[in-house]
Structure 1
Amino acid sequence: TALTPCACVDTAVANRSVTVTRVVGTMAMSVANCTAFTGTAGVEGAVAAGIASASGVAASSVMVALSCPSRRLASGLVARRLADAVNAEYEITIPAGSTTITAASVTNAVVSEGQTGLFYHISTAMTAASIVGVNLTVTSVPVPKEAKTTVWTTAATSSTTNKATVSTTAATSSTTNKATNSTTPMISSTSTTSHSWTQLLILSTLGVAGAVAALQ
């Protein structure tokens, strides 16, 4: 039996909450045809890139959804104006732990850029995305709002523990009993005794024979 050191990893699951801060807002734009504009490939990404450039964040931090106002109940001039209008809803995610990019700084940047600044940044992004020939105007930029969301995440934590494991080794011992037989010739006591009695018998016989010969 032996003790063997072992670096064992214990895994546990921990739940923790993370607060995600976003700046959410809307803006209104005008184009020649809303349906054609919103159906253009890559246009939402271009608008998002323009908003990101204006607010000082990465393009991956901005999500945009474009839509056309409903004209079902409108008529005449109002309907034609609605055909030109584009609603843009956007969300800007604030990088976690950042001290330079905050909800306040992003909000201030959007307000400061206003209609003219956002038009410039969006138009530049559309040109970079090869979306050309669009007569776009930014008509309204309301002040965005800050929104916070709590997100629960599950993380697996592992810890290394030094443990001693018992290793049992069966020692197989082979015991061989060997009988050593001596092959040296031995004269047993029985054989010796038998031989001595034979000699005495012969001598006794000779003695009797000698005595008989003397009497004759």
Structure 2
Amino acid sequence: MRACCRHLLMKLYPHSKQPQRRLSSTNPTLHNIRLHLFKAVAGNSIILQVLFFCLFCYTFGALFQQTSHTRNLTVAFVDYDGGAIGARRFSEIIELSSSQYSQPSALESKVCHIDFWAALYVTPNASNRLANGLTGGTSASSYNRSDVMSFIWNEARYSTTADSVAAKLQDLSEAARIIYSNTNGAAALQTIPAGDAAAVSVFSNPWQLVSLNLQPTTQGSRLIYNTLVIILLLLQEFF
């Protein structure tokens, strides 16, 4: 019975009783194979290290002092009012003619097609509505301070720096409001009826800048630090 089992085993595994032919670790045949293997491993390792180094340089370089890299984001300005509100000019933005862009929708199209990053405009007849609101009565109570100045922008473009530029446009609107108050404040105070709270409210807060964001993309540097960088570090560990 044992002999029969041994005979069957020899048929199934003919090399089971033959001496194993293993090369020694010091065999000269393995020298060239190991040399090519180590060269390939070292070359791939160097390439991967350089690749990740370049990725980190690009990522952190793009985020370094990002608030000062916004000077190339062009902002257009159109004064559809032609009155006191849009009389102040700012050198930081590009002034365009209302005859060239007759409607705010034309500005929206330009921003959408990346001709400008943003467009700031004063709505038509805004100064007259503000002057009427300062006289009190129903004109003051029905005054819409959100229908004075607006800006169209696309947050999807340069989303890591867009928030800072939008904040600067808010500051620009506040600067225009202060200039308007300094220039026309004395005359406006004479038209405000005594005891009319609505007219006083119009004078103290004549307008609010309205944001028309074509593509909201809320993110910032912290998103890169907390996602992309961590993923790159984990990927690097596999190599």
**Rg larger for:** 1
Whose strand proportion is higher, 1 or 2?
1
Normalization by structure 2: what TM-score?
A: 0.23
Normalization by structure 1: what TM-score?
A: 0.24
